[in-house]
Amino acid sequence: CRASSDSDVTPSGKEVLPVHGLSETIVGVLGGGQLGRMLCQAASKMAIKVMVLDPQENCPASKLAYHHMVGSFDDSATVQEFAKRCGVLTVEIEHVDVDTLEKLEQQGVDCQPKASTIRIIQDKYLQKVHFSKHDIPLPEFMQIDDLEGAKRAGDLFDYPLMIKSKRLAYDGRGNAVAKSEDDLSSAVIALGGFDRGLYVEKWAPFVKELAVIVARGRDNSIVCYPVVETIHKENICHIVRAPANVSWKIRKLATDIASRAVSSLEGAGVFAVELFLTVDDQILLNEVAPRPHNSGHHTIEACYTSQYEQHLRAVVGLPLGDPSMKTPAAIMYNLLGEDEGEAGFHLANQVIGRALHIPGATVHWYDKPDMRKQRKMGHITIVGPSMGNVEKFLYSMLNDEISDSQ
């Protein structure tokens, strides 16, 4: 309780208490996975209270959050109940109940980014329509409703053809490649059929995948993190190299497109823009995530302001921090489950054991109770004086023979 002399009164007569510290806004996060966990870690430095809503009792964020409400972020009544307790509502996953978010906004609940943004992004086809209207370069795309439509798309875009489900896609689950017309029906079946809502994208013949984290403050100020290169393994982000080894011209083009894409969406927060670099130096947008992202994990050790701190600053209305790198080079390596159960934990522990001997390496473990193949269990960031230097340590971490001989 504060002395009344500390407080102010607004014209409406409502008492406004002065802020002690950075912000007293309680941040509600829909989702309590590893991104929510790292938001909680950043919040702890600033003494910002983060509440998470996640159905899993022992989700990665549960032990670090100010409060964990156990419940579904896709259930209307639960999200409404959760929102009542928060000063601002944000997300660490886009697959949330957006109708409820829209209703809550109408009732005056502060959602950042805006529900309109989540609605566009959670449907990849809508996302593509939106960005093409805003003149953002994309691979060509079209909706498919039946096999005839898929064949027409194949004739138009040629093969290989990327078939994607519009909704609930992540880590490549929701993508299928048809190498020829003969593959179309099995690819569609693998994605759950046309009823699931499918569209196709022309194959992007990329030479590199790039990503840019863009942050927008509540005052609409925008900052962009240095362009990174992302390397995927079976459609899952596996390695991130920061900064990307591309020309100044490509860095500028990628940053401009990312910044324009985010400017077309509403609300504050951090956004990740995934891009393709083609052989003829074009940049095409793949997709945007309206939240902190795997391609920005390295910012914790490598940048003055991490993407997690930045997201919190943005949604509570603090000035945005400096996104630039404070170390010349960084590599992030995702610890993806390589086997089920104990065998998988054992393999991960071997890599972690080697990482602990590497100068400049930081190990993040998400504390997920179950190990599964391809599951994101943790990550390791290595920072150093040059890309050659951190690459050398990455190889030694991944190859016990090299590290044993060091």
Interaction site with Mg ion (CB under 5 A): 274, 287
Distance from C-alpha of 60 to C-alpha of 368, rounded to nearest angstrom = 6
Tokens of 303: 């940048």
Say if residues 177 and 187 touch (Cβ distance below 8 Å). yes
Tell me which of 44, 116, 143, 175 binds ligand ATP, using CB under 6 A: 175
> What minimum distance in Å lies between the beta carbon of 200 and ligand ATP?
9
Q: Is 232 in the site for ligand ATP (CB under 6 A)?
A: yes
Tell me which of 159, 203, 345, 365 binds ligand ATP, using CB under 6 A: 203
Distance of CA 96 to the CA centre of its chain: 14
Strands of 227-375, DSSP E: 228-233, 236-242, 269-278, 283-289, 329-336, 361-365
Q: Which residue number, 97 or 209, has a Cβ lying nearer to ligand ATP?
A: 209
Burial of 65 per CB tally in 10 Å (0-12, 13-18, 19+): buried
Amino acid type, 3 = A
Amino acid type, 250 = I
Q: Is 209 in the site for ligand ATP (CB under 6 A)?
A: yes
**In this chain, which stretch among 203-211, 218-226, 323-331, 380-388 interacts with ligand ATP, using CB under 6 A?**
203-211
Q: How far apart are the first and last CA of the chain?
A: 59
405 φ, ψ (degrees, to nearest 5)? -85, -5
> What minimum distance in Å lies between the beta carbon of 231 and ligand ATP?
9
> What minimum distance in Å lies between the beta carbon of 350 and ligand ATP?
26
> What minimum distance in Å lies between the beta carbon of 204 and Mg ion?
12
Which of ligand ATP, Mg ion, none is residue 162 near (CB under 5 to 8 Å by kind)?
ligand ATP
Q: Is 33 in the site for ligand ATP (CB under 6 A)?
A: no
Q: What is the DSSP letter of 328?
A: S
Q: Is 197 in the site for ligand ATP (CB under 6 A)?
A: no
Between strands 228-233 and 283-289, the pairing is unpaired
Of 396, 206, 99, 146, the residue nearest 380 (C-alpha): 396
Of 120, 118, 166, 162, the residue nearest 140 (C-alpha): 162
Tokens of 358: 């590497």
Which of ligand ATP, Mg ion, none is residue 260 near (CB under 5 to 8 Å by kind)?
none
Q: Which residue number, 181 or 287, has a Cβ lying nearer to ligand ATP?
A: 287
Q: Which residue number, 205 or 353, has a Cβ lying nearer to ligand ATP?
A: 205
Site for ligand ATP in 249-278 (CB under 6 A): 274
Q: Which residue number, 35 or 204, has a Cβ lying nearer to ligand ATP?
A: 204
Which of ligand ATP, Mg ion, none is residue 33 near (CB under 5 to 8 Å by kind)?
none
- Residues 6 or more apart from 169 whose CB is under 8 A from it? 124, 175
**In this chain, which stretch among 20-28, 40-48, 202-210, 329-337 interacts with ligand ATP, using CB under 6 A?**
202-210
370: left (phi over 0), alpha (psi -120 to 50) or beta: beta
Q: Is 287 in the site for ligand ATP (CB under 6 A)?
A: yes
Query: What is the contact surface with ligand ATP in residues (CB under 6 A)?
Result: 139, 162, 164, 169-172, 174-175, 201, 203-204, 209, 232, 235, 274, 286-287
